[in-house]
Structure 1
Amino acid sequence: MKDSHVLAALPSKADISVEKNNGIREKFSHEKLVKSLLMVGSPLWAAEKIASKVAKSAYDGIPTKEIKMLVYTSLKEIDEETADKYLAARKLKVRTSRDTIESFDQKKIEKSLIKEAGASPQLAKRIATEVWKELKKLDVEYLTAPMIREMVNTKLIEHGLEKLRRKYTRLGIPVYNITELITEGSRDNANMIHNPETVHKYVADEALKQYTLLHILPHRLADAHMSGDIHIHDLEFFAARPLNCLQHDLRLFIKHGLRVDGTGDHTSVAGPPKHLETLMNHAGEIMLAAQQNMSGGQAMSLWNVFVAPFAAKLSYDEIKQAVQMFIFNLNMAYAARGSQVPFTSINLEFAVPDFLLDVPAYGPRGEHVGVYGDFYEEARQVTRAFTEVLLEGDADGKPHLFPNTIYVIRRETLKDEFEDDLHLVHELAAKYGTAYFVNMLADYRGEMSNYMGCRTLLSDNWTGDWEKDCLRTGNLAYVTLNLPRIAYQAKDDDEIFDYLDEYLDLAIDVLKLRRKQALECLNDYNLLPFLTQEIEGENYYRIENATLSFGYVGLNEMLEYHTGNSITDPDANKFGLKVIKYLYERAQELKKETGLRWSVLQTPAESTAHRFAMLDSELHSEKAILQGKEDSYYYTNSSHVPVDSEVDIVKKIRIEEKYHPLTPGGHIFHAWLGEAQPDAQALQKFTKNICKNTDIGFWAYSNTLSFCLRCKTLMRGLQETCANCGEKDEVEWYDRITGYVQQVGRAKSSSGGWNKGKRQELLDRKRYNL
């Protein structure tokens, strides 16, 4: 009765909002305040009394810091020890090395001393208690993990424990973490193997991430990322390599030759290529060289068309041999960041598109050799040769993982004369699942659309000039919004859009800073010489045409929490479309306001979907709608249907196609194929139906494959034992992680190239037999 009486006496605070450190407001919550007090051991009666007192003092826009001090002062009058616990949990926030913000917890110091330094539990508790006593004297808004670690090291020195201090110290990142990188590696990027270069990369990445979070980004933006409201991609590249994807124009290097360092001062300079083999070598070197200046993928569109003049008068075998050299070079050039092969994509046409038939063509020595329409048959031969090389695989029978090979389907491609070429591509899709498809028949398409990396997209919808809009530029950067968290915080439809605006404002501010940093790196710091090299009177890279994009994760989970139904429900999906259309319209407004190229994309989210879900499993444990299982939670990527949904593939298309016109910054549809190898003819028929009858813009047929490293046998499906030799420990799995096909890791191991969330998603995927 006493508790009910207190609740009944509370003043209404329905219109009072609290401003968090990142600037986002949330409704004042009596219940949340009571819960936070109970969590530090306060009796219920005291928690209710203090929450009521604070409610009376609260005003609209009150900062969380002020609320915390009101609570602390009131609690101290009742129980000083509990008040100290509350202060530690609520006032002292720690920015961790895992890019999260957490409440201070003395136990974590104790555990790390035991694990990393080998301290006894008694000694660890003694040191941690002394550190806590020092920390609570500080008047700081945030602590950092390095700050706490140095205070611990100071205490270890005071106690004469030098041996423990040496184990516990930090060299850019903790000694323990470097040891783990050397012995175990990291699974943040599935494209990276475990070797000395990756260790170097991760150590440097950690230092540059912290530099960005502490030096470049204002606190509120860093907080928004670390708390998981948004995700700022490529933090490690923000300071010195802030540009993401790049779509090259091969013609310029055909005409003017190649300076791989951008100047020719530090490397040999190549003149315009004279032979097809030389051009193949240059094409690979262009992407490898530009990778040193970019944080994302390298791509080339109209590749077979621009190469075609070099294939004139050559036999088909000579063309195929040159193309084979190009593909193997891309897959064997382990020289990109952290000992990766360059992340590359090639967009191939089945012939010369109509809009290029009368465009001037350039051939050997950079000479003008007519128009591209003169090389119609050569363009077809180059694409066919490319497909045949991919279909043959490498010497062990594995698929070539790069380049991402993207086949552009136009209305003329569906004519009978291309049936054999289309069939060959679908044999590749059926065997390895590495082919991608672009649907140029959709109503929202112009003459040109090209894709880069996992799905990022450029179209001739910026100025209307296909060259300026699609070549020598790319996606400058993107920031991803945590849509489920918005649903957990909002009470109704209106609040959903209020929170969307606040999250978008954070993303906009980050992207503006990223563009400012890019301009400084290009123009002031002389950091990106390949991109700033002058060709035909201007810088090679056209930053004025680069996109700034909003990504998003977890639309399905947002809908489940907010409407009670998943994206597969028609009414829920209507609201989902309303949400993404809102993002699209904000991007259009920003274009007019700023003169910059804003866009919306379906984030690849290789690690973001897992990171958001794991953070929300702690922060919103009672509300969170999660896929997967404990320790391997993930959100459904972008606006996709959940991977385990029991819906047929046609319904899946009908749901997801509506989002492709709203995400002009990039999108993808996944057809997860079953264990049985599909019929190429059936896939070809399905492709035609997609092009003629849907708004799907970009898609892939994805196979799961298993490869025995012992006897070199390739198998379909996720096999734990080799069907040929019986090997169990040396069987590797392959599948498409978000956009590209990559090794998952060993079948018998939980470790490997994919993080826990993506590995769980792999196991959850519903497969289709086409």
Structure 2
Amino acid sequence: MVDAINNQNTGNEQNTSTEKNMENRSQTNQQEDMIPKSSFEEVNQKYKDIQAKLESLLAEKEKADTEKVKADKKAKEEQGKYEELYKTANEELVKVKDSYKSTSVRVQELETVINGLLEAKLADVPKEFHDLVPANLTPEAKLSWLSNAESKGLFKSVSQKKNEPVGENTNPGSSQTKDLNSLDGISPRKVDVGQMSHDYFTKRLADASVDVNANANEELSANNYQAEVTKGILKLEGYYLLWRYSKKRFGTRRANELIKAIWNGELYFHDASGYGVQLPYCFAYSTANLMTEGRMYGQLYSLPPNRSDSFVAQVIETTMDLSQEFVGAVAPGDFIVNLCWYLEREGIDTESSEGRKYIENLWQKFIHVMNNKFRVSGQSPFTNVSIFDRENLKKLFTDYRYPDGSEVNIDYIMDVQKIIAEFFSKGDPSTGLPYRFPVMTVNLSVDENRNPLDLDFLDFVAKTNTQLGIYNIYINEGSKIAMCCRFSPSTNQRMNYRVDTFGNGGLNIGSHRVVTINFPRIAMEAKSREDFFNILDSRTKMAKDLLLVHREEILRRRVERGFLKFFNPLKWFNLDMLFSTIGIHGLYEMCHFLGFDMENLAGQDFTEAVLKKIEDYALAFSKETGHSFNTEEIPAESTAVTLAKKDRIIYGEDKQPFALYSNQYIPLIADMDTIDRIKLTGRFMKYVSGGGILHLNVQDRVTNPDTMKKLILMCLKEGVEHFAVNYGFGICSEGHTSIVGNGKVCPICGKPIDDYLTRVIGYFSKTSSWGDVRKNYEFERRRFNQTA
């Protein structure tokens, strides 16, 4: 057992020894396998470097992936745009294809016009010169070639003087154009928007404009710029519309004759621009619609006004709207009469200082808005407001009723009118000059012997007119007035109202257009008295046809389409309220070319015969067509210059020596005293159903009201139905204003006069905004007479 135990112990010892040996060997092996510290740090650093490089590569990959996503997205967007563009292009192509037929028709029509004009032009050229026209040119180029050749005198006959002038310059500081198309505003230069833009900023505005208008040619503005640079193109479009609808109504031959008559200067179609030809001309409207209906149109409706200030605001807004849809004067004829209903209801006392001030403030508001240039082409609206004597109020408003059924209070209306007129007669307090707009027209009534029926009102007018000569004075002999906005005249006779381009004559009545006859041209063409009236017959019928085309073919279509909202859909007006007006001017020069003198009896007798004949035509046309025609001695601000220049180009300066034709029976530059001028004008005015206006230019202020009254009474007695006592205001370099006529020196400081303010037609304007001929030729020679 001992041996067994010993053996066991021996075995355990051996095992223990073996384990120790193995442990020692294991420790030895571990020591041999351990990495040195320096080697570990090197490996660790390499690991970090590799990790950083990996992170950088991952970042670059992520960036590349992001850019790829963006690129793919952009490509898809571009593809979508291209697809949209492609879709739009296809739609436009379809539209072009759809309109190709109508476009082709229009092109063919234009080609017909051009060929017709070319034939007409060649007809005026002697046949021996026809071979000179280059055969390889287009019709348009041939027309241009012929015009240039003609202006250079290439086609003059051998019998003509070799050095005979053709439309040479006769106006100081300017050059007269030799191109008829340029005078009409449709020459290549005038229809070039870029060139017109250059001219707009480098020339005097009145010289750059296609149609000179003192109300529009005063200052540069974005509104005015847009109208002026495109006016030539729009005028060409206007002539196209006239030709197109003339052809539709009368055929190609007549259409060519009518357009040729306008372009050659036989006739003058007023406001022929593209937008202007699609609008009516002038209108006197009743403000009664506002009292009962309000302004129920536009983006924001206005209910009928309940207060005087609201009524004035609506009249202002409506007049602004109407001035965009009529190219001439807009006259709220019963404005003051209807204003009085509101003032009286509010208890405004015309005898108190507070009441007078309130009324003056309302009127001042109206004046300031009406002199803003918000109209098309940067113009103030041509507005005309009437005041009436007591007898006129009785005659015109006896049966009139306000919305509550009450009658007009004539005594109250007279008081309000006088407050407004006294304020207006003082003029602009900042300059001392008269207001331009509204034109204030005094309506005086006379008996059968032409004696005034309201002497108290006449005294008031004479007194308040001495300071600035603010009134246009209109004599009312009629007993009716168109009060109803649904008024429709009989179709077999003419409306029994006198209406002119200033908006005088009635309410809800006007003129849709004026076509003026060039009377001096007829006189130069005629070989005898009989020949004169034969040519007059032809020209008058041309004017009738153009007026019919404008009324029936152009305006009626625009009304049906809702283009003129006051006609349709509002139904406030209708085309039967509008006269077709035949314009008269240049009668003084007409007499000269026929060998008469207007200041002698033979010339006056012939002029009277011509006026009677034109009036007979107007009456006959009214019965023939069912539309009312009238005649008017037109203001002719630019017409008188344009037609005179055309005649100089055609006939030469030797045969046609006048720089402009007269817009009065006796030119304002003629040396005739005031009394003779009044008598001669009174002889002729009664034969002109649409009237005219006589300007009595006086050198100095009429300080005595009795002298002013005598002038007015003389006009009444001699049959002058529309006139104005007209001052010439001077503005010197120091800013002083004074009445100087056309004098050169300021009477206050002795400095030179820099500018003038006077009537160019029916309203006051500065001569610096007038066309070159009126400014530098006519005004320089205008006669301002003494009144003593």
Give TM-score scaled by structure 2 length: 0.70
Name the aligned partner's letter for residue 386 of structure 1. I
Q: Distance in 2 between matches of 1:582 and 1:63?
A: 30
Q: Which residue of 2 aligns with 1:733?
A: 756
Q: Distance in 2 between matches of 1:740 and 1:625?
A: 30
Q: Does 1:410 align with 2:445?
A: yes
Q: Which residue of 2 aligns with 1:430?
A: 466
Listed one character per residue, the Cα deviations across residues 35-85 of structure 1 (whole Å, up to 9, x for unaligned) are xxxxxxxxxxxxxxxxxxxxxxxxxxx977468574246xx6xxxxxx459
Post-superposition offset of 1:509: 1.8
Instruction: Give the 5 Å matches for 1:147-546.
Output: 172-187=191-206, 188-192=212-216, 193-196=218-221, 197-217=223-243, 218-237=255-274, 241-259=278-296, 263-264=297-298, 266=299, 268-312=300-344, 313-316=347-350, 317-351=356-390, 353-356=393-396, 358-362=398-402, 367-372=403-408, 375-396=409-430, 397-411=432-446, 418-419=455-456, 421-441=457-477, 445-448=478-481, 462-463=494-495, 470-534=506-570, 539-546=571-578
Number of equivalenced pairs: 604
Name the aligned partner's letter for residue 314 of structure 2. H
Q: Distance in 2 between matches of 1:671 and 1:661?
A: 18
| Secondary structure of the structure 1 residue equivalent to 2:730 | strand
| Secondary structure of the structure 1 residue equivalent to 2:725 | strand
| Native 8 Å contact 2:495 2:628 kept in 1 | no
Q: Distance in 2 between matches of 1:755 and 1:521?
A: 38
Q: Distance in 2 between matches of 1:465 and 1:702?
A: 27
2:650 to 596, 619, 622: 619
Q: Which residue of 1 aligns with 2:611?
A: 580
Post-superposition offset of 1:560: 1.2
Which moved further from structure 2: 719-728 or 574-583? 719-728
Q: Which residue of 2 aligns with 1:679?
A: 704
Judging changes above 3 Å, is the alpha-carbon distance between structure 1 residues 545 and 497 closer, same or farther for their aligned structure 2 residues?
A: same
Post-superposition offset of 1:625: 4.2
Q: Distance in 1 between matches of 2:785 and 2:647?
A: 31
Name the aligned partner's letter for residue 281 of structure 2. N
1:549 to 581, 589, 599: 581
Post-superposition offset of 1:145: 12
Q: Which residue of 2 aligns with 1:599?
A: 630
| Secondary structure of the structure 2 residue equivalent to 1:529 | coil
Post-superposition offset of 1:290: 0.6
Q: Distance in 2 between matches of 1:249 and 1:495?
A: 45
Post-superposition offset of 1:384: 0.6
| Secondary structure of the structure 1 residue equivalent to 2:509 | coil
Q: Distance in 1 between matches of 2:585 and 2:184?
A: 28
Q: Which residue of 2 aligns with 1:102?
A: 147
| Native 8 Å contact 2:281 2:326 kept in 1 | yes
Q: Distance in 2 between matches of 1:146 and 1:666?
A: 29
| Native 8 Å contact 2:400 2:407 kept in 1 | yes
Name the aligned partner's letter for residue 494 of structure 1. E
Post-superposition offset of 1:448: 4.5
Post-superposition offset of 1:346: 0.8
| Native 8 Å contact 2:261 2:267 kept in 1 | yes
Q: Which residue of 1 aligns with 2:98?
A: none
Listed one character per residue, the Cα deviations across residues 152-206 of structure 1 (whole Å, up to 9, x for unaligned) are xxxxxxxxxxxxxxxxxx8952522211112335321101222222111112322
Which moved further from structure 2: 403-412 or 215-224? 215-224
| Native 8 Å contact 2:394 2:410 kept in 1 | no
Post-superposition offset of 1:552: 2.1
Name the aligned partner's letter for residue 377 of structure 1. D
| Secondary structure of the structure 2 residue equivalent to 1:548 | strand
| Secondary structure of the structure 2 residue equivalent to 1:371 | coil
Which moved further from structure 2: 582-591 or 200-209? 200-209
Listed one character per residue, the Cα deviations across residues 645-700 of structure 1 (whole Å, up to 9, x for unaligned) are 33332222222212212211231122111134442221112212322x22211111
| Secondary structure of the structure 1 residue equivalent to 2:696 | strand
| Secondary structure of the structure 2 residue equivalent to 1:225 | helix
Query: Over aligned residue pairs, what C-alpha RMSD do you find?
Result: 3.7
Post-superposition offset of 1:303: 3.3
| Native 8 Å contact 2:518 2:586 kept in 1 | yes
Name the aligned partner's letter for residue 205 of structure 1. K
Judging changes above 3 Å, is the alpha-carbon distance between structure 1 residues 106 and 580 closer, same or farther for their aligned structure 2 residues?
A: closer
Q: Distance in 2 between matches of 1:371 and 1:398?
A: 38
Post-superposition offset of 1:236: 0.9
Q: Distance in 1 between matches of 2:262 and 2:718?
A: 36
Q: Distance in 2 between matches of 1:648 and 1:240?
A: 40
Q: Distance in 1 between matches of 2:196 and 2:578?
A: 37
Name the aligned partner's letter for residue 646 of structure 2. L
Q: Distance in 1 between matches of 2:676 and 2:190?
A: 53
Q: Distance in 2 between matches of 1:466 and 1:143?
A: 35
Give TM-score scaled by structure 1 length: 0.71
Name the aligned partner's letter for residue 407 of structure 1. V
Which moved further from structure 2: 716-725 or 694-703? 716-725
Unaligned runs of 5+ in 1: 1-20, 25-61, 77-82, 109-141, 150-169, 451-460, 628-632, 746-751
Post-superposition offset of 1:380: 0.5
1:697 to 711, 721, 745: 721
Listed one character per residue, the Cα deviations across residues 362-381 of structure 1 (whole Å, up to 9, x for unaligned) are 2xxxx314111xx1122111
Q: Which residue of 1 aligns with 2:72?
A: none
| Native 8 Å contact 1:606 1:758 kept in 2 | no
Judging changes above 3 Å, is the alpha-carbon distance between structure 1 residues 614 and 172 closer, same or farther for their aligned structure 2 residues?
A: closer
Post-superposition offset of 1:557: 1.0
Q: Which residue of 2 aligns with 1:49?
A: none
Q: Which residue of 2 aligns with 1:458?
A: none
| Secondary structure of the structure 2 residue equivalent to 1:739 | coil
| Native 8 Å contact 1:246 1:298 kept in 2 | yes
| Native 8 Å contact 2:294 2:303 kept in 1 | yes
Q: Distance in 2 between matches of 1:720 and 1:559?
A: 33
Q: Distance in 2 between matches of 1:502 and 1:678?
A: 50
Post-superposition offset of 1:106: 10
Name the aligned partner's letter for residue 71 of structure 1. E
| Secondary structure of the structure 2 residue equivalent to 1:347 | strand
Whose helix fraction is larger, Structure 1's or Structure 2's?
Answer: 2
Post-superposition offset of 1:497: 0.6
Q: Distance in 2 between matches of 1:355 and 1:618?
A: 52
Name the aligned partner's letter for residue 726 of structure 2. S
User: Greater Rg, structure 1 or structure 2?
Assistant: 2
| Native 8 Å contact 2:370 2:383 kept in 1 | no
| Native 8 Å contact 1:393 1:400 kept in 2 | yes
Identical amino acids, percent of aligned pairs: 18
Which moved further from structure 2: 655-664 or 461-470? 461-470
Q: Distance in 1 between matches of 2:498 and 2:404?
A: 21
Post-superposition offset of 1:726: 5.5
Q: Distance in 2 between matches of 1:93 and 1:146?
A: 20
Listed one character per residue, the Cα deviations across residues 357-410 of structure 1 (whole Å, up to 9, x for unaligned) are 542432xxxx314111xx112211121112111122123122111111100111
